[in-house]
């Protein structure tokens, strides 16, 4: 298949691309800069100039494809409402272009905040509905295209997709520990974070493209949950600083913007995903990657 990928040069997308190519697919990718276009070309991807705000480029990429994997997202925590509107507009452009073709539209989503107090499963619907909801209510909105001849598939990623080179949440948390001289966790640190190795996640995206039915929810989760305290203690050992509790009302001042996320319980199961797609995570887990120094060594 000829697959159009947004976010193809990003952290997850740059691992998905070789999975697709090795399986015999051809790939086109959205490139918002010359540097991105050059990186895609070097990876064997045909670049399409544009951005998530350039709906014409999204439509052109989708029209000239056998399916779309939408991994791009504006991770602007200062304007999450704006990011949600952009996401909803992008899904509209892609879905409208694919309508009536039965072609797949895979899109990135998350497991955070769906079922507070317990691990979220693939059978749990997202409560986010409407343009003002997180990510613009994109999951439920995209699923509406199933009745219009599109095969929408939700790719729910764990809050940390880890590996060497990751500059996401855990990199920020490790940076705070280095700057503060203490590796903190909120409260008793019993809240858990689901995790998945980047390479395992990439393989699952390819399997979902090839096998998932319309309306499927796929959990890219390799580990159901690692406690925030274990994460902090592992980071602390790598940096040679103590791991200590931070009071919930001091989380924002201690951690900055990442504090509100590090205090959340974001555990998730992928049991159904593993059964449905014959997918078994085989790469190192989160603690192993932390112990390898991927998040604590200086560039």
128-143 mean pLDDT: 86
Please determine, for residue 153, whether its predicted confidence score (pLDDT) is greater than 80.
yes
- Is the same domain home to 253 and 123? no
Dihedral pair phi/psi, residue 45, rounded to 5°: -110, 140
Please determine, for residue 26, whether its predicted confidence score (pLDDT) is greater than 50.
yes
Cα(110)–Cα(91) distance, rounded to whole angstroms? Answer: 16
- Is the same domain home to 118 and 17? yes
Cβ contact 65:4 at 8 Å: yes
- Is the same domain home to 35 and 170? no
Output the pLDDT for position 212.
Answer: 97
> What pLDDT band is residue 84 in, cutting at 50, 70 and 90?
confident
87-113 mean pLDDT: 95
Please indicate whether residue 131 or residue 71 has the higher confidence score (pLDDT): 71
Is 276 within a domain?
Answer: no
Output the pLDDT for position 77.
Answer: 65
High-pLDDT (> 70) share of the chain, %: 98
Dihedral pair phi/psi, residue 68, rounded to 5°: -125, 135
* Domain of residue 254, residue span: 164-194+224-267+285-292
Query: Residue 103 is part of a domain; what is its CATH number?
Result: 3.40.50.720
Please determine, for residue 299, whether its predicted confidence score (pLDDT) is greater than 70.
no
Number of domains in the chain: 2
Output the pLDDT for position 104.
Answer: 98
- Is the same domain home to 124 and 186? no
Please determine, for residue 66, whether its predicted confidence score (pLDDT) is greater than 90.
yes
High-pLDDT (> 90) share of the chain, %: 87
SS (H, E, C) the chain: CEEEEECCCCCCHHHHHHHHHHCCCEEEEEECCHHHHHHHHHCCCEEEECCCCCHHHHHHHHHCCCEEEECCCCCCCCCHHHHHHHHHHHHHHHHHHHCCCCEEEEEEEECCCCCCCCCECCCCCCCCCCCCCHHHHHHHHHHHHHHHCEEEEEEEECCEEECCCCCCHHHHHHHHHHHHCCEEEECCCCCEEEEEEHHHHHHHHHHHHHHCCCCEEEEECCEEEEEHHHHHHHHHHHHCCCEEEECHHHHHHHHHHHHHHHCCCECECCHHHHHHHCCCCCCCCHHHHHHCCCCCCCC
- Is the same domain home to 173 and 136? no
- Is the same domain home to 209 and 230? no
- Is the same domain home to 87 and 217? yes
Is 297 within a domain?
Answer: no
- Cα torsion 83, 89, 90, 92 to 10°: value is 150
> What pLDDT band is residue 260 in, cutting at 50, 70 and 90?
confident
> What pLDDT band is residue 222 in, cutting at 50, 70 and 90?
very high
49-78 mean pLDDT: 92
User: Cβ atoms within 10 A of the Cβ of 195, count?
Assistant: 26
């Amino acid at each position: 298949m000829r697959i159009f990928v947004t976010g193809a040069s990003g952290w997850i997308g740059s691992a998905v691309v070789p999975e697709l190519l090795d399986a015999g697919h051809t790939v086109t990718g959205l490139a918002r800069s010359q540097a991105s276009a050059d990186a895609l070309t070097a990876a064997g991807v045909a670049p399409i100039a544009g951005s998530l705000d350039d709906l014409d480029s999204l439509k052109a990429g989708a029209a000239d494809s056998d399916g779309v994997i939408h991994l791009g997202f504006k991770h602007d925590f200062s304007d999450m409402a704006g990011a949600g509107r952009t996401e909803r507009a992008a899904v509209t452009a892609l879905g409208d272009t694919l309508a009536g073709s039965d072609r797949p539209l895979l899109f990135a989503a998350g497991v955070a905040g769906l079922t507070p107090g317990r691990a979220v499963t693939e059978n749990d619907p997202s409560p986010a509905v409407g343009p003002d909801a997180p990510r613009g209510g994109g999951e439920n909105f995209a699923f509406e295209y199933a009745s219009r001849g599109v095969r929408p598939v939700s790719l729910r990623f764990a809050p940390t997709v880890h590996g060497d080179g990751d500059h996401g949440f855990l990199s920020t948390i490790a940076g705070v520990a280095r700057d503060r001289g203490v590796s903190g966790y909120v409260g008793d640190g019993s809240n858990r974070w689901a995790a998945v190795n980047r390479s395992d996640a990439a393989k699952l995206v390819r399997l979902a493209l090839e096998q998932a039915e319309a309306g499927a929810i796929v959990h890219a989760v390799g580990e159901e949950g690692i406690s925030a305290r274990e994460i902090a203690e592992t980071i602390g050992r790598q940096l040679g600083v103590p791991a200590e509790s931070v009071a919930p009302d001091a989380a924002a001042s201690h951690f900055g913007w990442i504090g509100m996320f590090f205090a959340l319980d974001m555990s998730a199961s992928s049991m159904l995903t593993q059964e449905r797609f014959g997918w078994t995570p085989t790469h190192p887990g989160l603690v192993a990657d932390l112990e390898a120094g991927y998040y604590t060594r200086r560039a």
